[in-house]
Amino acid sequence: MWLDQVIGTIEKNPVIGYASHSAPATEPTAIAALVLLAHGKQESAKRASDFLINTQSSDGSVGVRQNEPDPQWPTSLAVLAWHAFDKLAYATNIEQGVNWMLQAKGKAMEQTDDMGHNTQLVGWSWAEGTHSWIEPTAFHVLALKTVGRGDHPRTREAITLLLDRQLPTGGCNYGNTSVLGQMLRPHIQPTGIALLALAGEQDQGNRIAKSVAWLRKALSKETTRASLAWGLLGLAAHRITLPSATQWLESAAQQVQSHDNSPHKLALLALAAAGPRLLTPDS
Amino acid sequence: MSKPFSTVPPARISRRALLAGAGLVAAGFVGTRTVRQWMKQRASVFVAKHQTYGGPLVQTIRDGLIASGIDAANLKGKKVLLKPNMVEPSREAPHMTTHPAIILAASEVFRGWRASVTVGEAPGHVRDTDMALEESGVREALDSAKLPFADLNYQEVAWVENRGHASKLAGFWFPRAVAEADMVVSLPKMKTHHWVGVTAAMKNLYGVIPGIKYGWPKNVLHHNGIPETVFDINASLPRTIAIVDGIDCMEGDGPIMGTKKTMGLVVIGTNPAAVDATVCRLMDLDPAQVPYLQLAGGRLGPIDDRLISQQGEKWQPLASPFQILDKPHLQRLRKNKGVLVT
């Protein structure tokens, strides 16, 4: 019931922002495109995909909002949406996006005892000229795997980075593991997104299994909306479905509708209900 | 009138004076006594002791603001943005984030003065802002008082010139709620900080910077120098005052992983640099050794104790050493007897 309602709303207006009545933004619209495709709403999905094209710069990157070409971290999400919609029709946009992604690099930093992770590994950053972090790196890995570039050296290095950033007891912080000798706390959203990108990967250190176990335990009916969506998607990519997931998603959607009515959060919940197949074709 | 929300940096606007509080004076939010003080590069800071989250915080904050020179009559109809600290909230560490009682009390004071109050934050480490609101207990408080919340990480942005020029950044993207506010009230937690020593009113304003443009963490700022960008953001937000939650504080490995230290204090002032200098003294740390206060001293406000007029309680009998990490870059903070912890 809630899902039909949400999909109906997104179908009417597939170009969405983070908040209700806010300017359309790339990330929520890419998520909307994936939701619509997952639920067979091709016509509306095309409107969302076309919005993303209008946001693409001549260098292939896609900015955070239309007329805001910087930073370019949503490029990966746009590529995912285009590929899922029609990889042939959007072949040029996808190719330009992938070319931009492969030349964009997070900034390596000198390795010191202060930071627990390998600061030399290169993934993707939120903004140009800054360090690589979990979520943008995972989004880029998902996009590159989806377009068949999972074996590219950049993708492989990013996988190594994501494994390196898993906390020893499972789960991920936003990107650090320990700072000045102090282990940080794991969070659900980055863990779920990282696990999506790590689906199908081999891990001799058993880190993926630990993070899956942590995430499974961390998710509950109290989990907030975006975290719940990404957490369930991350588990589903590892073939784990929680028995209460449907109930939690419905409850979360009702909370959004009664609070801020964020189209982005509703789209994320609908995507979680659809499962990860458009994000991780091989899972 | 709303500022234009453009994606293209506009032509340079006239540079405003960096004299502390110039924006507040121009806006008429402070009385003439305070104007005279600022002209001498002085500021007032109010300290209240024996405070609890269940106590009369509304009265404390109202008294403190008036003692600091706020002209309440001029706030009628003005947009006031309350900016608590919710960097990476966890129910396991409530001493990390501004207590909801402080937010509610401050909102009641400003609403009582007929201002239009919004609470806004751009959590620095977590993209799921709902998680930050719920882990910190702030969501419940906002709902109970029907306070609107602005998610500063994702709002539309306006370009504002960097008026500090300590870093290389030409300007900042400020979210709509910040750009349109008549006054930003920094509501920090009194904490140690493992990179810059102390975080209070000035450093808390990192949290007006949108993650969608600067990342999670706001790495663009880090790569341009934490002290420099703290200074620059504060210099570019002239209409800023501070109410510090110094009741349950954090020492050791702050601002996230430190331990609770109860001080029972609320510190208030119309000049965040002066407030932070006083906070340092209350923590038994040397403000002149905090890099962003070194930059701010004499430019954004006074940090010399002789130039700060103490209102309410004197800080000297209330000072209590905060533990700081035993790291080389923090050693200089221990001018007096600050305690090291490993």
- Measured between alpha carbons, how far is A121 from A108 in angstroms, rounded to an integer? 6
Question: Searching chain B, which residue's CA lies closest to the CA of residue A108?
Answer: B223
Amino acid of residue B326: D
Q: What is the dihedral of CA B101, B102, B106, B112, to 10 degrees?
A: 30
SS3 state at A65: strand
Beta carbons of B185 and B82 less than 8 angstroms apart:
yes
A229-234 average pLDDT score? 98
- Measured between alpha carbons, how far is B319 from B341 in angstroms, rounded to an integer? 18
| Percent of all residues in chain A with a pLDDT value above 70, rounded to a whole number | 99
Question: Searching chain B, which residue's CA lies closest to the CA of residue A264?
Answer: B154
Question: Searching chain A, which residue's CA lies closest to the CA of residue B211?
Answer: A126
Q: How many CA atoms lie within 13 A of A185 on its CB side?
A: 16
Residue B92: per-residue pLDDT: 87
Establish if B328 belongs to a structural domain: yes
- A225 vs B contacts (CB less than 8 Å): 128, 130
* Interface check B332 vs A, CB under 8 A: no
Q: Report the DSSP beta bridge partners of residue B72.
A: none
Question: Searching chain A, which residue's CA lies closest to the CA of residue B176?
Answer: A22
- Measured between alpha carbons, how far is A113 from B327 in angstroms, rounded to an integer? 12
| Percent of all residues in chain A with a pLDDT value above 90, rounded to a whole number | 96
Structural domain range at position A203: 105-218
- Those of residues 88-107 in B touching chain A at CB distance below 8 A are 88, 90, 92
- Measured between alpha carbons, how far is B107 from B100 in angstroms, rounded to an integer? 11
CA distances from A156 to A117, A144, A160, A177, A198 (A): 17, 10, 6, 20, 11
Establish if A82 belongs to a structural domain: no
H runs (alpha helix) in chain A: 2-12, 26-38, 42-55, 75-86, 91-103, 134-146, 153-164, 188-197, 207-218, 225-236, 245-258, 263-274
- Measured between alpha carbons, how far is A145 from B151 in angstroms, rounded to an integer? 32
Q: Which long-range contacts (CB under 8 A, 24 or more apart) does A59-62 make?
A: A59/A96, A59/A100, A60/A93, A60/A95, A60/A96, A60/A97, A60/A98, A60/A99, A60/A100, A60/A101, A61/A97, A61/A100, A61/A104, A62/A26, A62/A97
- Measured between alpha carbons, how far is B134 from B127 in angstroms, rounded to an integer? 13
- Measured between alpha carbons, how far is A77 from A204 in angstroms, rounded to an integer? 29
User: B266, B216, B330: which is closest to B45 by C-alpha?
Assistant: B266
Give chain A's domain count: 1
Q: How far apart are the first and last CA of chain A?
A: 27
Establish if B162 belongs to a structural domain: yes
Residue A61: per-residue pLDDT: 98
SS3 state at A208: helix
> Is residue B306 classed exposed, middle or buried when 0-12, 13-18 and 19+ CB atoms within 10 A define those classes?
exposed
User: pLDDT tens digits, residue range A196-219?
Assistant: 999 999 998 899 999 999 999 999
A232-253 average pLDDT score? 97
Chosen from A26, A130, A183 to mutate, greatest number of chain B CBs within 10 A: A130
Structural domain range at position B269: 22-341
Q: Report the DSSP beta bridge partners of residue B150.
A: B120
Retrieve residue B209's tokens: 């910077």
User: A140, A136, A109: which is closest to A279 by C-alpha?
Assistant: A140
Residue A226 has pLDDT above 70, yes or no: yes
Retrieve residue A40's tokens: 């067979």
* Interface check A172 vs B, CB under 8 A: no
Residue B328: per-residue pLDDT: 85
- Measured between alpha carbons, how far is A178 from A165 in angstroms, rounded to an integer? 9
- B154 vs A contacts (CB less than 8 Å): 17-19, 22, 25
Q: A88 to chain B, minimum CA–CA distance in Å?
A: 30
The yes/no answer to whether this complex scores an ipTM above 0.90 is yes
Q: Do B131 and A189 touch (CB under 8 A)?
A: yes
Give chain B's domain count: 1
- Those of residues 2-21 in A touching chain B at CB distance below 8 A are 17-19
Beta carbons of A107 and A160 less than 8 angstroms apart:
no
* Interface check A187 vs B, CB under 8 A: yes
Q: Do B215 and A126 touch (CB under 8 A)?
A: yes
Residue A283 has pLDDT above 90, yes or no: no
User: pLDDT tens digits, residue range A113-161?
Assistant: 999 999 999 999 999 999 999 999 999 999 999 999 999 999 999 999 9
User: pLDDT tens digits, residue range A183-193?
Assistant: 999 999 999 99
Under DSSP, the state recorded for A68 is: B
Establish if A227 belongs to a structural domain: no
The whole-number mean pLDDT for each consecutive block of 10 residues of chain B, a chain of 342 residues, reads 40 35 56 52 95 98 97 96 92 92 98 98 96 95 97 97 97 97 98 94 98 97 96 93 98 93 98 97 95 95 96 97 90 65 52
Establish if B106 belongs to a structural domain: yes
Establish if B6 belongs to a structural domain: no
- B213 vs A contacts (CB less than 8 Å): 64, 70-71, 127
Establish if A16 belongs to a structural domain: no
Q: What is the mean pLDDT of chain A?
A: 96
- Measured between alpha carbons, how far is B154 from B175 in angstroms, rounded to an integer? 8
User: pLDDT tens digits, residue range B136-179?
Assistant: 999 999 999 999 999 999 999 999 999 999 999 999 999 999 99
Residue B87: per-residue pLDDT: 84
Please tell me whether the peptide bond between B217 and the residue prior to it is cis, using omega within 30 degrees of 0.
yes
A266-281 average pLDDT score? 94
Q: Do A133 and B215 touch (CB under 8 A)?
A: yes
Beta carbons of A22 and B154 less than 8 angstroms apart:
yes
- Measured between alpha carbons, how far is B192 from B185 in angstroms, rounded to an integer? 20
Establish if B3 belongs to a structural domain: no
CA distances from A190 to A23, A27, A174, B153, B159 (A): 25, 16, 6, 16, 29
Cα angle for residues B184, A70, A155 (degrees, 5° grid): 125
Return the H-helix or E-strand segment holding A179.
strand A178-179
Establish if A121 belongs to a structural domain: yes
- Cβ neighbours of residue B35 closer than 8 Å, sequence gap 6 or more: B25
- Measured between alpha carbons, how far is B188 from B101 in angstroms, rounded to an integer? 13
Retrieve residue A239's tokens: 């073939």
Q: How many CA atoms lie within 13 A of B162 on its CB side?
A: 18
Establish if A266 belongs to a structural domain: no
Q: Do B257 and A184 touch (CB under 8 A)?
A: yes
Establish if B151 belongs to a structural domain: yes
* Interface check A74 vs B, CB under 8 A: no
Establish if B7 belongs to a structural domain: no
Residue B341: per-residue pLDDT: 58
